[in-house]
Structure 1
Amino acid sequence: MDVTIWEFAALAAATALVGFSKTAVSGANTVSLAIFAAVLPARESTGVLLPLLIAGDALAVATYRRHAHWPTLWRLFPAVGVGVALGTLFMMWAGDDAVRTSIGAILLFMSGVTFWRRRQADRAARVPRPAESGDAADDPAPDGQAVSHQDTRPGGGARQLRIARVKARSYGVLGGFTTMVANAGGPVMSLYLLSAGFRKLGFLGTSAWFFLIVNTSKLPFSAGLGLIDADSLLLDAALVLFVVPGAYLGRRCVDRIDQRLFERLVLAATVLGGLQLLLR
């Protein structure tokens, strides 16, 4: 792939942002996705970006591996597999415009849903009620990863479990689909983890393991679609070191970001990425 010095500089900055997003503000790499799609053909850009994302995932796992919540991950993986399969079929016939429009619309829709859910949660929080700990489906959550309230009505626990399963499957399929077609699964899964009430470290640890496993599993599919080849890997070799300073900066910054600001930054990055995809 031939790129000018200025295009390479833009790709290097976007690669550093990949590292930052993996260790600080998950979802911010939608900006990287847009930069790669602007410099390179949209389909080919996904093949170049994938190994760089895996490098960022490895650094994030090395940093936050102790904070992952595995019950949440196991709930997501089957649905994600379905989404990846659907995304692979979509990529077999979809053009660049179809990919950008579909992903942008999904991201904006999910951002709206999450914003509405946060508003509802804020209103409910103003009403005094007993607080109990748990994760998205009311499992014990280590390290204060997530906080939820039990439903004390008759049958409320079963109802909550059904809702949690439906939500995990819905987000899982969407996350698998978007990560396969445009490496844009980060915002979708960020919205899921935010809606589940994960705190910063649990959010980052669970997200890190999730994407290391999912992105690695996508490699044979991407290679089979012709998105990864010798030229793309050569460009990756020139860019991969830029992931490291971005990841280091993110780790230094994350402790200085309070929870509410963290959530707003994730949502803002998601909306920005969706708009960029729709308006290109």
Structure 2
Amino acid sequence: MEQHFLGLNLIQWLLMGLCAILVGMSKVGVPGVSMIVVPVLAIIFGGKQSTGVLLPILMMADLFGVLYYRRHAQWSYLWKIIPWAFVGIGLALWVGEVVNDEQFKNIIAVLVFICIGLMLWRDRKKGQQFMPDQWWFAAGMGIFGGFGTMMGNVAGPIFAIYLLAMHLPKNSFIGTSAWFFLIVNYSKFPLHIFIWKTICWESLTLDLITLPAIGLGAFLGIKLVKVVSDKTYRAAVIIITALSAFLLLV
């Protein structure tokens, strides 16, 4: 690869550390903060290449989330959506090969805005049945989520809609999300290496350097989640998701 991953300047190293902290926080339940990481890394490394830099950081952070919230996962919801997520990953794998960097970011932004619309529409229908028991709802969210996670590691807002529709309490929401992303992110790893070629030894070395910052973020995130109510947590998911969508267009 032509990208020299370890030849970053001081500002870029500081941004990498901040990104790792935010990813660590997001994996233990601070909603949406890792979305900020996507445009920051895209500025440093370029759109598609940044997905390969971010993925191993997410994989390391996934372990923190699963270890801490592993007993809270609702597997019945996971089995409904994971097969469809792999369909979305396959579709994104092809699309990522035929679009340029600008189109890459725009596709993700459109997906997130669609999801925000669904979130707001659902809140207006509060008290009414919102299709969570329909197979096509899980299928649609799975394909969107798989597509989003492969294209830009931004499936968080999409998967949040699926879980919010199930009315899961905070810990179940976090635990189910943690397992979902551990499964899909580890599945994506060989695709980035052998097909997109966005991961190499040098980029992996860069990612390993961020491990202490990921751990710090996880520690801070656990402390923060303990003092946030379910109502506040849900509001934060929706608000930060909306802000994140705008960041993708910057």
Q: Which residue of 2 aligns with 1:174?
A: 144
Give, in angstroms, the shift of residue 201 of structure 1.
Answer: 0.4
Match 2:29 to one of 24, 35, 48: 24
Give, in angstroms, the shift of residue 231 of structure 1.
Answer: 2.0
Match 2:160 to one of 186, 190, 206: 190
Query: d(CA) in 2 for partners of 1:210 and 1:108?
Result: 22
Match 2:204 to one of 186, 211, 233: 233
TM-score by length of 2: 0.93
Deviations 1:195-242 (CA, angstroms, capped at 9, x unpaired): 221110000000000000110000011112111012211211211221
Give, in angstroms, the shift of residue 185 of structure 1.
Answer: 0.9
Q: Which residue of 1 aligns with 2:193?
A: 223
Identity %: 33
Q: Which residue of 2 aligns with 1:157?
A: none
Query: d(CA) in 1 for partners of 2:134 and 2:42?
Result: 34
Query: d(CA) in 1 for partners of 2:101 and 2:92?
Result: 14
TM-score by length of 1: 0.84
Coordinate RMSD, CA, aligned = 1.6
Match 2:59 to one of 34, 54, 58: 54
Highest Rg: 1 or 2? 1
Give, in angstroms, the shift of residue 119 of structure 1.
Answer: 2.4
Q: Which residue of 2 aligns with 1:205?
A: 175
1:107–1:187 contact (8 Å) kept in structure 2: yes
- 4+ long deviations beyond 3 Å: none
Query: d(CA) in 1 for partners of 2:31 and 2:79?
Result: 20
Deviations 1:9-47 (CA, angstroms, capped at 9, x unpaired): 011101100000111223221111121112221111110
Query: d(CA) in 1 for partners of 2:26 and 2:124?
Result: 25
Amino acid aligned to 2:49: E
The question of 1:82 aligning with 2:87 is answered yes
How many residues matched?
A: 244
- In structure 2, stretches of 5+ residues that fail to align are none
Give, in angstroms, the shift of residue 248 of structure 1.
Answer: 0.7
Amino acid aligned to 1:271: A
Amino acid aligned to 2:171: L
Q: Which residue of 2 aligns with 1:36?
A: 41
2:59–2:186 contact (8 Å) kept in structure 1: yes
Query: d(CA) in 1 for partners of 2:220 and 2:16?
Result: 18
2:30–2:224 contact (8 Å) kept in structure 1: no
Give, in angstroms, the shift of residue 267 of structure 1.
Answer: 1.4
1:31–1:269 contact (8 Å) kept in structure 2: no
Deviations 1:69-119 (CA, angstroms, capped at 9, x unpaired): 001000011100100000100111121101110111110121121112012
Q: Which residue of 1 aligns with 2:76?
A: 71
1:16–1:247 contact (8 Å) kept in structure 2: yes
